[in-house]
Amino acid sequence: MKVYGQTVDDETRCVHYRSAKDIVAIRFACCGRYYPCHLCHEEAETHRARQWPLRERGTKAILCGACETELSIVDYLATDRCPSCSALFNERCSLHAHLYFEM
């Protein structure tokens, strides 16, 4: 799966967020491209980011950087780790959820 932006490793970490738990990429609703974070999207694209609507929470739009499993938005928001490989996700990502998903 191609992840755009300024990645620093093969697990989707980027120049903005690169802790051990920063291993998810988000497929943006506006362009369909996976980016590690909102800042990477902002720097690379000429359009504004669009949030995923509530009605599309079943869409697979989250990529685990550890095992490349795609998760639906609803499944991602309900967990703190990948259901396939058990890799921990950064719990602080919830601070930015409103940038990606209608709340």
Nearest to 56 by CA among 41, 72, 69: 72
Dump strand ranges (E) for 1-103.
24-27, 34-35, 60-64, 70-72
Tens-digit pLDDT profile for residues 5-48? 999 999 999 999 999 999 999 999 999 999 999 999 999 999 99
* pLDDT score for 15: 98
